[in-house]
């Protein structure tokens, strides 16, 4: 998972982000232009991950950040994170 986290962290600069309430809209930037034909809407937790993920993170550090922010069970967070990170990476690669 560390490789996926590193990849996502490096690719963040290639996206424009717009907040709408608790959701965050990710819009890819291609050739210095936003591509509104392809976007991803993240819920509050997904937005928190996107905004706080760094290359220094690994699975454990992300789980800790999420648990501290949302006061939830580590087991549940870890299970969801294992599914979310690959999906987010796939969105980034699939553009």
Q: Per residue of the chain (95 residues), give pLDDT as tens.
A: 999 999 999 999 999 999 988 899 999 997 766 666 788 999 999 999 999 999 999 999 999 999 999 999 999 999 999 999 999 999 999 85
Q: List phi, psi (to 5°) of 3.
A: -60, -40
- Please give the helix or strand (H or E) that residue 2 lies within, else none: helix 2-11
Q: Tell me, what's the pLDDT at 33? A: 65
User: In this structure, are residues 42 and 26 in contact, taking their beta carbons and an 8 Å threshold?
Assistant: yes
Q: Tell me, what's the pLDDT at 82? A: 96
Residue 28, beta-bridge partner list: 15
Residue 8, beta-bridge partner list: none
Q: Tell me, what's the pLDDT at 37? A: 72
DSSP annotation of 12: G
CA distance 33 to 30: 5
């Amino acid at each position: 998972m560390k490789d996926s986290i590193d990849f996502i962290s490096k690719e963040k600069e290639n996206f424009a982000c717009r907040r709408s309430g608790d959701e965050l809209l990710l819009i890819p930037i291609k050739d210095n232009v936003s591509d509104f034909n392809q976007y991803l809407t993240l819920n509050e937790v997904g937005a928190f991950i996107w905004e706080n993920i760094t290359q220094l993170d690994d699975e454990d550090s992300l789980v800790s950040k999420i648990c501290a922010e949302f006061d939830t069970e580590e087991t549940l967070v870890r299970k969801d994170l294992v599914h979310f990170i690959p999906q987010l990476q796939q969105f980034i690669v699939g553009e």
